[in-house]
Amino acid sequence: MDDASRPEAPFRLRSVALPAYGPSIAASIGQGAILPVLALRARELGADVGTAALVVALLGAGMLVASLPAGSLVARIGERRTLVLGGVVQAGATAVAALTGSVVALALSVVAAGMAWTAFHIARQGFIIDAVPESYRARALSALGASSRVGFLVGPLLGALLIPYAGIAGAFWLATGTGLVGGLVALLVPDLGADTRAAQRLAGPVRVVDVIRDHRRTLLTLGVAVVVIGVSRSLRQGLLPLWAESVGISASTTSLMFAVAAAVDIAFFVPGGWLMDKRGRALVAVPVVLAVAVGCLLLPLTSGTASVLAVMVLIAAGNGLGSGIVMTLGADTAPTVGRAQYLGAWRLCAETGSVGGPASVSALAAVAPLGVVAVVIGGLLLAGTGWVGYWTRRVDRSRAARVVTG
């Protein structure tokens, strides 16, 4: 049998595992290491409680404001260079955070780290779109989402080992090292988008505002569904610890419960990716929001460790099943021309939801008891589940139509 008639070898995710997931795991280990101690570092430098909370919030603000510029950066210099640059910026920002004696300098370094992580994320998504066949896209992006979760699980454990010897700054030095490792691993990533960028340069510059205008209907419909998903995912970080404290669960027990939930989250990414590829995006997008909605409605009925943990596991299972769903929907709807700019706008939708979740808990908790807050949010998310289901089913129908006509 000659080469022309030999059947094509089936695609295997492991063939792109190191360049696809290595940089992400390294970067997320660093991020996971500093998140639990960021507020403590601010307090160590003399910040009051309110200022320390603001410093933590600036991490999300950096991710949010960098979404559109990061998309333009990827379009200009490519995924590989963006990954290397992101790793270097993360390393520099976290080194400053470890060395500084100023709360202001810490705040600025946190913003820079958030911006670097957003650029890193968009570049990873673009690489997988180019490197992986569409029939494996959801499984590949689900694994990318899981690789970040692994980092968030491993990072705090490594940070906890370093802090007794190097102080809180040790967690930031760990993030410096993992940022450099991520940048070095990114050098192994092939520059798959070089031909596309060359073609775009010949066609003329693509402005972010033009890409958003051309795809405004998708961003205002499916993009809003992504905002809802982002809100539902971020709620557990603010609502669940507050509820656990209100029913008398200790901080150490709460932390252990979150670790159990994180393990459940990671365990569900494999079936979630398979279901997305084989049965459609809606089948996993809906449980992400529905699990949080039901969990919020059940939360006021809980009063002890076992019942609160059961709610956390329910939410984690839904979230893990939808690992990579936001990136997959973005890849499904991204145009060929202006793809990186579009993915930046898509990321902005996701980050808006991530910021909006904790903000909604804070705003409602200022005027109502926590149990009422949980019920109100649960009801709103039930309505959001319908929106998410409707628009993700439209994506599934569009993909099915392409297969038939293709």
Clarify whether residues 195 and 265 are in a common domain: no
167 shares a domain with 62: yes
Strands (E), 224-343: none
208-239 pLDDT, tens digit per residue, is 899 999 999 999 999 999 999 999 988 877 78
Location of structure tokens 């997959």: 328
Whole-number Å distance between alpha carbons of 79 and 82 = 5
Q: Inform me whether the pLDDT recorded for 6 exceeds 60.
A: no
For residues 387 and 209, give the distance between their C-alpha atoms in angstroms, rounded to a whole number.
26
Inside any domain, residue 9: no
Q: What is the pLDDT of residues 23-48, one digit of tens each?
A: 888 888 988 888 878 888 888 899 88
* Domain-located, residue 6: no
CA 358 to chain centre: 15
The 3-state DSSP class for residue 185 equals: helix
- Same domain, yes or no: 58 and 84: yes
**Would residue 380 count as lying in a domain?**
yes
Spatial contact of 334 and 223, defined as CB atoms under 8 Å apart: no
**214 shares a domain with 190:** no
**pLDDT tens profile 249-293:** 886 787 778 878 888 888 898 899 999 999 999 999 999 999 999
| In a domain? residue 4 | no
255 and 396 both lie in a single domain: yes
Looking at per-residue confidence, does 23 or 404 come out higher? 23
pLDDT value at residue 156? 82
pLDDT of residue 202: 67
Same domain for 152 and 73: yes
Q: Both 241 and 382 in a single domain?
A: yes
In the structure encoding, which two tokens stand for residue 261, read together?
């939930």
Number of domains in the chain: 2
Do 391 and 245 belong to one domain? yes
Residue 387: pLDDT above 90? yes
Confidence of residue 204 (pLDDT cuts 50, 70, 90): low
Looking at residue 42, the DSSP 8-state letter turns out to be H
Predicted TM-score (pTM) of this structure? 0.84
| Residue 96 included in any domain | yes
Q: For residue 11, tell me if it sits in a domain.
A: no
Q: Is residue 303 part of a domain?
A: yes
Cα–Cα dist 208/143, whole Å = 28
Give the range of the structural domain holding residue 336, as residue numbers without chain letter.
Answer: 206-406
